[in-house]
């Protein structure tokens, strides 16, 4: 007899403790430990830079984790940062985002890097995220992935001396040293 594990749903996810950070990936609850200092520092720098640009140019809204993004009944993620354009504000609810943000940023941590590069990458592509940044604090790089025909294609890998330009945030220019300033000085 096969022992098939039932997939959990968004209703099950809502019953989890607020004391711990979970995501629901393909019907399985995944516990995410608290991020390290460098992760939080990079997240705050990106939130300030992207958020200020989006607000000054009236482009849309920027949110940071923890904030649920409900991609489907069996997939609920909490990206480190996300952007929803003014054209798509209908996916924003008081409780969560219901659908794919325009831009998602994930900052790699030892405990989440594999999921960010595989499972979440596939989920973001399948559900229509148009731009996905994978920030690697160890390599001091940001990989920009752009949605092509049902999958992501590398738009660029930016490191020291580079200026990242985002197709989703038209006119946004990000000197990579600004993101990794604290880790470059150590």
What does pLDDT average to over the chain? Answer: 90
Residues 6+ apart with CB under 8 A from 139: 159
The share of the chain scoring above pLDDT 70, in percent, equals 95
Of the two residues 34 and 117, the one the predictor is more confident about is 117
CA dist., res. 102 & res. 82, Å (int): 8
Q: Span 115-134, mean pLDDT?
A: 94
pLDDT tens, residue by residue, 44-71: 999 999 999 999 999 999 999 889 999 9
pLDDT of amino acid 186? 43
How many CA atoms lie within 13 Å of 86's alpha carbon, on the beta-carbon side?
7
Delineate the domains of the chain, giving CATH numbers in brackets: 34-184 (3.90.1570.10)
pLDDT tens, residue by residue, 71-90: 999 999 999 999 999 999 99
Q: Which residues pair with 114 in a beta bridge?
A: none
pLDDT tens, residue by residue, 128-165: 999 999 999 999 999 999 999 889 999 999 999 999 99
Q: Is the pLDDT of residue 182 over 80?
A: no
Residues 6+ apart with CB under 8 A from 12: 24, 29
**Nearest to 125, CA basis, from 143, 100, 144, 107:** 100
pLDDT of amino acid 19? 75
């Amino acid at each position: 007899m096969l022992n098939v594990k039932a997939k959990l749903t968004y209703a099950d996810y809502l019953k989890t403790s607020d004391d711990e950070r979970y995501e629901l990936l393909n019907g399985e609850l995944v516990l995410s430990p608290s991020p390290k200092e460098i992760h939080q520092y990079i997240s705050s720098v990106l939130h300030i830079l992207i958020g200020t640009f989006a607000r000054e140019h009236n482009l849309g809204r920027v949110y940071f984790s923890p904030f649920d993004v409900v991609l489907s009944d069996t997939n609920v993620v909490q990206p480190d940062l996300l952007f929803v354009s003014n054209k798509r504000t209908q996916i924003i609810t008081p409780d969560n985002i219901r659908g794919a943000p325009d831009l998602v940023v994930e900052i790699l941590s030892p405990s989440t890097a594999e999921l960010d590069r595989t499972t979440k990458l596939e989920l973001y592509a399948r559900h229509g995220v148009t731009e996905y940044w994978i920030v690697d604090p160890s390599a001091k790089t940001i990989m920009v992935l752009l949605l092509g025909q049902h999958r992501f294609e590398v738009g660029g890998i930016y490191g020291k001396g580079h200026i990242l330009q985002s197709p989703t945030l038209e006119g946004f220019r990000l000197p990579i040293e600004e993101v990794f300033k604290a880790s470059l000085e150590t």
